[in-house]
Chain A
Amino acid sequence: MSESKFLLPDVGEGLTEAEIVAWKVAPGEQVAVNQVIVEIETAKSLVELPSPFEGTVGELLVSEGETVEVGTPIFTVTAGGATAAAAAPEQEPEPAEQVASDAAATVSHEEEPKPGAVLVGYGSAGHGTSRRRRVTHPGTASIPVSFSGGIAPAPAAPASAPAAPAAASHAAPASAPTARPAGPVVAKPPIRKLAKDLGVDLTTVTPTGPIGDVTRDDVLREATQATVFRNIQTPEWPDDREDRIPVRGVRKAIANAMTTSAFSAPHVSLFVDVDATRTMEFVKRLKNSADFADVKVSPLLIMAKAIMWAVRRNPTVNSTWTDEEIIVHHYVNLGIAAATPRGLIVPNVKEAQSMTLLELAKALEELTLTARDGKTQPAAMSGGTITVTNIGVFGMDTGTPILNPGEVGIVALGTIKQKPWVVDGEVRPRYVTTLGASFDHRVVDGDVASRFLADVASIIEEPALLLD
């Protein structure tokens, strides 16, 4: 004898519960299909429920007066007699898919089929708290890189993007980077910005991403290669006999500044070679650290810190000469000589002495980008107290920098390259650079100048000395 359970249905398009008002049958009674078995009250009305089963009433599972949720079993019937009008519940075919059309589609598919299962009662039963388990990922099918779904034959469009979408599983990351394929560059917008900020030409970068895209690492790799200034091509002699460039704007300003400085301050220049290997290692570690992931880190950053440390020990190099007095500044507005398309400008980082290493790195980066975009404000270029100029990026070993008017010291960082050096009595390849500096001899004598430059050099040689 099979027992069937009757579950409380949703009788009113979205009802969630009902109260059992009155049972019309008792356990043990014979009941026919469609015979009224119970009266329930819903939010909308009083409703009589007819029995879907024929047989003997088993148990009344809910008492009168009780409110239960849709989907709750409310009574049982034991099939009796040969002429069951309803098919036995086990023979009811389970619906092919539970395609519920409202929010209750979260019916968990792990539920076993119930006899007389309510198909259209949505109610609150079956709001699963778990999600269906994915077996496979839809893969990169949802990220088409080349779109071939055109309706009309596409007009002469460029060849579709490099490298077909990866296979369904993401499991295998791209292996060895392939040669740069033809076609448009494939890169996420943030990577494009990074490349732009670092001045990397994406079309020259070899992509290693899973769909042939350029990754962040690819860009960074390209950016750190070869800092030696490269001329791209040698143009032909122009046809004209001469070019006459008017002197105005930035060029005029530079000329005035240089003249003022060179012919009012007696310049003296000093040079020292230093083993910068530890600085290079430090820079590398900074680049790999999470804190410095989003900012450009270069030896110039360490130079800046070194200069400020040396200034603390030799304050007079951070001053201004007037005919009556020498003003020694107890703050550092660190000027950075920047080569822009319009010429040399020297914006300065205000109050650089109070910045952390990260803050200083960011300030340097922003200053450089702003200068490159030609957006440096005049205020940024005034009030400098000491300047550093990086001629190493142009491949120069050192030089004799000219003081920024109003300042008495300027330090030049040259190219850092491997040279033979003596370490512990042996000749070893080390990263060596020459630091050059010029001073105003009205304020700074040779001893102060030498000590200052030696202090800068000692940081470059051992950045750990910054841990004051």
Chain B
Amino acid sequence: MVATNENPRPANTVQLLTAEGRFQPSETSAEYLPYLERLDENDYRRFYRDMVRVRAFDTEAANLQRQGQLGLWVPSHGQEGAQVGSARAAKPQDHLFPSYREHVVGMIRGIDPIGIIGLLRGTTHGGWDPTDPAVGNFHLYTLVIGSHTLHATGYAMGMKFDGVVGTGDPEVDAATIAYFGDGATSQGDVNEAYVFAASYQTPQVFFLQNNHWAISVPVSTQSRTPLYLRSSGFGIPGVQIDGNDVLAAYAVTAKHLDDARSGEGPSMIEALTYRMGAHTSSDDPSKYRSDDELAYWAERDPILRFRVFLEQQGVGQAFFDSADEEAADLAADIRRRTLELTSPSVASMFEHVYSEPHPLTEEQRRWFEDYEASFGGDA
């Protein structure tokens, strides 16, 4: 049940799969079940492959970091369910604004994950072109916590002004999703995004992955109330889901996106999940959290649960093997291409500082080229 001002504390988190993987919708998930009917067997398999692929990608990238190939890695390990489900609910015309951990969302929308590698290897601040249709309107990562939620809100305002909201045409009506974490909910920008979204009734879903930790600070320090309730204070209805349940993530996001596209305004989804890995490769979680907690969440791993569900649907071992193989191929491909990545050219530092020519940038670029040349070629 969605939280409203009249009923701010629904009894249950929305859940379709139990922790063990049995299909057993919770009471509060009734209104979302119809959205599952949009999915067929192929979709389910796709979800599984999505999750397995990104986990392999993640693991490989983590290894590459430990081998000195990346300065940093940002693992999404454990959050695949929330990300895959929500991403698969979005339509091509929707715009998605990630934070910096939504690797599989990008992959689903169409980015080449080597772009994420480049960002963390230090060859780019971008990694892909959000204006390229092949990239599925997946915007660049924003490393300042929460800033992008305002960009998503502004973009949604623009959609509304452009009249692509509430037309009734499923190919036209569009919405935005802003992804952010529990730590971000404390940032002023995120709260201002709620204010603006509510004021202008933007076609927008605020997708909050509560992975319980902001580096080493637990979510209890960020908030004294469940996070999904905070948005309702702004007039934005919120719902809490089991974020490791990929089906729940799909169904709830699908409904909320539909609502947004049809002009009902913004809403918020709090996906309860867990950051199984460190905040980044520079972090050491053993310093601040317990093995028990880790074990608790390991048992609720989104991939394991969904595998159980698929097995109950009759999916055979061959499929799982092929998924693993596909994932391993991806990992190997990433490894190979990572080692082949070249550094950006020196001149690129001076490109695209502005859209139009700027004399200071020009002057410095020229100076630097002369300076480099004065070392006589191969320095």
A-side residues, CB < 8 A to B, are 6-7, 9-13, 33-34, 44-52, 85-87, 92-93, 95-99, 101, 109, 116, 118-121, 132-138, 141-142, 149, 151
Q: Is the CB of A87 within 8 A of B339?
A: yes
Q: A86-B335, A99-B343 are in contact. Are A49 and B67 (CB under 8 A)?
A: yes
Q: Which residues of chain A have C-beta atoms less than 8 A from B283's C-beta?
A: 44-45
Q: Is the CB of B340 within 8 A of A93?
A: yes
**Segment 45-76 of B: residues with Cβ below 8 Å from A:** 59-60, 63, 65-72
| Beyond A46-B286, A47-B66, 4 additional pairs, beta carbon < 8 A | A44-B282, A52-B67, A116-B68, A119-B69
Q: Is the CB of B379 within 8 A of A49?
A: no
Contact partner, B359, options A44, A135, A151, Cβ 8 Å: A151
Q: Is the CB of A118 within 8 A of B68?
A: yes
Contact with A along B108-125 (1 / 0, CB 8 A): 000000000000011000
Contact partner, B345, options A44, A46, A96, A119, Cβ 8 Å: A96
B221 at the binding interface (Cβ < 8 Å): no
Q: Is the CB of B342 within 8 A of A93?
A: yes
Q: Which residues of chain A have C-beta atoms less than 8 A from B376's C-beta?
A: 133-136
B39 at the binding interface (Cβ < 8 Å): no
Q: Which residues of chain B have C-beta atoms less than 8 A from A120's C-beta?
A: 68-71, 121-122
Q: Closest B-chain residue to A11, C-beta based? A: B66
Q: Which residues of chain B have C-beta atoms less than 8 A from A149's C-beta?
A: 359, 363
Interface-centre pick from A34, A85, A149 (highest chain B CB count, 10 A): A34
Q: Is the CB of A97 within 8 A of B343?
A: yes
B351 at the binding interface (Cβ < 8 Å): no
Q: Is the CB of B374 within 8 A of A136?
A: yes
B336 at the binding interface (Cβ < 8 Å): yes
Q: A101-B122, A120-B71 are in contact. Are A12 and B282 (CB under 8 A)?
A: yes
Q: Which residues of chain B have C-beta atoms less than 8 A from A51's C-beta?
A: 67
Q: Closest A-chain residue to B287, C-beta based? A: A45
Tally of chain B residues near chain A (CB < 8 A): 40
Q: Is the CB of B375 within 8 A of A132?
A: yes
Interface-centre pick from B122, B281, B339, B373 (highest chain A CB count, 10 A): B339
Q: Is the CB of A34 within 8 A of B60?
A: yes
Q: Which residues of chain B have C-beta atoms less than 8 A from A87's C-beta?
A: 336, 339
Q: Which residues of chain A have C-beta atoms less than 8 A from B71's C-beta?
A: 10, 13, 120
Q: Which residues of chain B have C-beta atoms less than 8 A from A95's C-beta?
A: 342-343
Q: Which residues of chain A have C-beta atoms less than 8 A from B370's C-beta?
A: 138, 141
Q: Is the CB of B374 within 8 A of A45?
A: no
Q: Which residues of chain B have C-beta atoms less than 8 A from A93's C-beta?
A: 340, 342
Interface of A is mostly: loop
Task: For the complex formed, measure the closest distance between the CB of A413 and the CB atoms of chain B, giving whole angstroms.
Answer: 56
Task: For the complex formed, measure the closest distance between the CB of B158 and the CB atoms of chain A, giving whole angstroms.
Answer: 33
Q: Is the CB of B282 within 8 A of A13?
A: yes
CA distance A109 to B376 in the complex (A): 13
Q: Which residues of chain B have C-beta atoms less than 8 A from A96's C-beta?
A: 342-343, 345
Contact with A along B347-379 (1 / 0, CB 8 A): 000000000000100010001001101111101
Q: Is the CB of B68 within 8 A of A10?
A: yes
Q: Is the CB of B284 within 8 A of A45?
A: yes
Q: Which residues of chain B have C-beta atoms less than 8 A from A50's C-beta?
A: 63, 66-67
CA distance A97 to B282 in the complex (A): 25
B-side residues, CB < 8 A to A, are 59-60, 63, 65-72, 121-122, 281-284, 286-287, 332, 335-336, 339-340, 342-346, 359, 363, 367, 370-371, 373-377, 379
Contact partner, B68, options A34, A99, A121, Cβ 8 Å: A121
Q: Is the CB of B72 within 8 A of A99?
A: no
Q: Which residues of chain A have C-beta atoms less than 8 A from B374's C-beta?
A: 134-138
Q: Which residues of chain A have C-beta atoms less than 8 A from B377's C-beta?
A: 135
Cross-chain pairs A/B with CB under 8 angstroms, 26 sampled: A9-B66, A10-B71, A13-B71, A44-B283, A46-B284, A46-B286, A48-B66, A50-B63, A50-B66, A85-B335, A86-B335, A96-B342, A96-B343, A96-B345, A97-B343, A97-B346, A98-B343, A99-B343, A101-B122, A109-B379, A119-B68, A120-B68, A120-B69, A120-B121, A135-B374, A138-B370
CA distance A33 to B331 in the complex (A): 11
Q: A95-B343, A134-B375 are in contact. Are A119 and B286 (CB under 8 A)?
A: no
Task: For the complex formed, measure the closest distance between the CB of B63 and the CB atoms of chain A, giving whole angstroms.
Answer: 4
Task: For the complex formed, measure the closest distance between the CB of B344 and the CB atoms of chain A, giving whole angstroms.
Answer: 8
Q: Which residues of chain B have C-beta atoms less than 8 A from A85's C-beta?
A: 332, 335
CA distance A46 to B284 in the complex (A): 8
Contact partner, B346, options A48, A99, A116, A133, Cβ 8 Å: A99
Q: Which residues of chain B have C-beta atoms less than 8 A from A118's C-beta?
A: 68
CA distance A226 to B258 in the complex (A): 97
CA distance A51 to B68 in the complex (A): 11
Q: Which residues of chain A have C-beta atoms less than 8 A from B335's C-beta?
A: 33, 85-86
Task: For the complex formed, measure the closest distance between the CB of B360 and the CB atoms of chain A, giving whole angstroms.
Answer: 10
Task: For the complex formed, measure the closest distance between the CB of B1 and the CB atoms of chain A, giving whole angstroms.
Answer: 42
Interface-centre pick from B67, B69, B359 (highest chain A CB count, 10 A): B67
Q: Is the CB of A86 within 8 A of B339?
A: yes
Task: For the complex formed, measure the closest distance between the CB of A150 and the CB atoms of chain B, giving whole angstroms.
Answer: 9
Q: Which residues of chain A have C-beta atoms less than 8 A from B59's C-beta?
A: 34
Q: Which residues of chain B have C-beta atoms less than 8 A from A99's C-beta?
A: 343-344, 346
Q: Which residues of chain A have C-beta atoms less than 8 A from B66's C-beta?
A: 9, 11, 47-50
CA distance A138 to B369 in the complex (A): 10
Task: For the complex formed, measure the closest distance between the CB of B275 and the CB atoms of chain A, giving whole angstroms.
Answer: 16
Task: For the complex formed, measure the closest distance between the CB of A152 and the CB atoms of chain B, giving whole angstroms.
Answer: 12
Q: Which residues of chain B have C-beta atoms less than 8 A from A134's C-beta?
A: 374-376
CA distance A133 to B376 in the complex (A): 8
CA distance A96 to B342 in the complex (A): 6
Q: Is the CB of B63 within 8 A of A34?
A: yes
Contact partner, B281, options A12, A132, A137, A142, Cβ 8 Å: A12
Task: For the complex formed, measure the closest distance between the CB of B32 and the CB atoms of chain A, giving whole angstroms.
Answer: 39
Q: Which residues of chain B have C-beta atoms less than 8 A from A133's C-beta?
A: 375-376, 379
CA distance A275 to B377 in the complex (A): 66
Q: Is the CB of A135 within 8 A of B375?
A: yes
CA distance A51 to B121 in the complex (A): 18
